[in-house]
Amino acid sequence: MSLRKLIGVIHPRTAVVLHDLSMAALAWWVAKALRYALIDNASINFHTLEFPLVLLVQGAVLSWTGLYKGVWRFASLPDLWNILRAAVLGALAIAAALMLYNRLEDVPRSVLLLYPVVLAVLLGAPRLAYRFWKDSRLDLFQAKPMQRVLIVGADRAGEALSRDLNRDNGYTVVGFVDDKESLRGASINGRPVIGRIEQIPELSREVAAQMLLIAMPGASTQEMRRVVELCDQSGLPYRTVPKLEDVVSGRAQFNEIKEVAIEDLLGRDTVELDWTAIRVTLTGRRVLVTGGGGSIGSELCRQVARLGAQALCVVDNCEFNLYRISQELRAEYPELIYEAILADCGDPAAMRKLFGEYKPQVVFHAAAYKHVPMLQGQLRAAFRNNVLATRNVADLADRHGVEGFVLISTDKAVNPTSVMGACKRIAEIWCQNLNERSSTHFITVRFGNVLDSAGSVVPLFRQQIRNGGPVTITHPEISRYFMTIPEACQLILQAASIGRGGEIFALDMGEPVKIRDLAEQMIRLAGRKPGTEIPIVYTGLRPGEKLFEELFHPLENYIETTHAKIFLAQYRPVKWDQLNAQLAKAADAVVAYDEDALRQCVSHLLPSFRWTETPQPGNVVALRRSESGEK
């Protein structure tokens, strides 16, 4: 049996106690030996119960001071303070015990002064030596080779990461790179800052690094793109730490090492929010979220629960999605009054019962079908779910005096060229017009694609890359707006807090991203080469698909709001009688499964909408007439 295995047989706490008691006995002997060494021909005398009393009393004091709650691996100033307290209090307690035993016979007073000094050294030195041994990798039994790591970023995050890595036997930090001139030539935790970030490819070779770790949680998207590009040039694998907002929101742990995700490169800079206004809207309120098991709906549920809603009711017609979000919310927020309802928002009886029993004060309507190509040939399903179900929930919100109703819409509702976009635009029209006749504030929020949502292009590309390709893109020039799911939901909540009813808010989606660039970056993040190791295939635009998306109709004349990332589209009224008549016909057509009649209703409500079975080459949105019939 090796020495390491032999040591491993003893329980760590037992080994620490035995060590400390041995040190206490040795300290008592050394203190007496030092005292009597000053006297010629003097002999040291120990009484029968002297050592047992010293060990018993000192052991009790050590346990009482909490010294055994600490771990030698992380010994620090609090542990040294406990050692000093234990040594001084132990000396006093031993003096009292020996006074009762033999009136301190053969125990000079100077021994009681020397003992705590010697004991503090004997207890503290091994602990600090052990920590230094582990942090410095002076492990004689270490057989596994360590990976040489170069840290990008020498700020607080980089320093903390290096300390964590020093405690891990799998890594050794060879240095830092950082652009700050003040750090040039500095040393952090014994490791040098060897150059600037732009020198990553050369420096990583010079120090024989095997991995790059990006410790820049506060970096902007542009900075991250630059750093990742340089890491790509080095040819080494690289990882990063989570962003600050992910740590604060509880979605990640500080200094948790993770792969660089596409969200890190396509996301935007941190959005400043008026959390006070958002909390006023939600705290202590009864909130209903439809489609609460989906990508957007589930994140809305998390944030609503985090902001202190009194009660949360979640509706979804997918049993698994509802089960998943329910398990998460009940575990994370046990004090929240929570109800999970498995129902279709287009079921009048189910929704009437829900509104009657739970009496929501704020409604977020996220339930919708969203897959453009699939819905292009499924008009009845799209209209029933995206229009009639929205009307059902909105009417019940009006009837039950709900304070605020937020419709989650899409940029595809602007100049719609798809069935999905057309149905969402009609849902917007209903909510806008209903707001004029209701005490409920009906608000619409539009935004584009969200990264990694269910059914979106990101998980599709990820799966295709995992399978070795090819990655399929409809058109080389197609582009889309992207934002992260948490950011989209936060801006939805912010829009709900500033809305007064009837508004169409459009979220600032930043710059559009070419899908080709997105695919190439995801391939590179996977450690492969786009076009060679993973081929890219262009399949052609699908029916109803645009080359690019718009957030506003030309006639909406959008204006700024109090929030820099939220814009307001001006209201375009539709005659209420005409709207009711067409939706009544459409509802009858849905019941009769008469898609021809349904098409006529949609065309009547959206005169500019064109029914295209196949996209025109090069430009699906060449025909751009307004909904009022303008050519």
pLDDT tens digits for 58-106?
Answer: 888 888 877 666 545 445 666 777 888 888 888 888 888 888 888 877 7
Helix (H) or strand (E) holding 490: helix 485-498
Q: Which CATH class is domain 275-457+481-511+541-605?
A: alpha beta
pTM: 0.62
Cα within 13 Å of Cα(224), Cβ side: 26
Query: Average pLDDT in the 399-428 region?
Result: 90
Tell which wins on pLDDT, 237 or 220. Answer: 237
Query: Average pLDDT in the 168-187 region?
Result: 79
Tokens representing residue 84 in the block: 């000093």
All CATH 3.40.50.720 domain ranges of the chain, comma separated, are 147-260, 275-457+481-511+541-605
Q: Catalytic residue, from 243, 412, 424, 565: name it.
A: 412
Q: Is the pLDDT of residue 186 over 60?
A: yes
Q: ∠ CA(588), CA(592), CA(594), 5° rounding?
A: 95
pLDDT of residue 631: 26
The domain 147-260 is placed in CATH, from the list 3.40.50.300, 3.40.1280.10, 2.30.30.830, 3.40.50.720, at 3.40.50.720
Q: Are 502 and 571 in contact (CB under 8 A)?
A: yes
* DSSP state at residue 189: T
Tell which wins on pLDDT, 481 or 315. Answer: 315
pLDDT of residue 453: 62
Query: Average pLDDT in the 304-308 region?
Result: 89
Tokens representing residue 181 in the block: 């001139």
CA 515, CA 513: separation in Å to the nearest integer? 6
Q: Are 464 and 532 in contact (CB under 8 A)?
A: no
Q: Is the pLDDT of residue 582 over 70?
A: yes
Q: Is the pLDDT of residue 557 over 60?
A: no
Does 412 qualify as catalytic in the annotation? yes
Per-residue pLDDT band for 205 (boundaries 50, 70, 90) equals confident
Query: Average pLDDT in the 551-575 region?
Result: 62
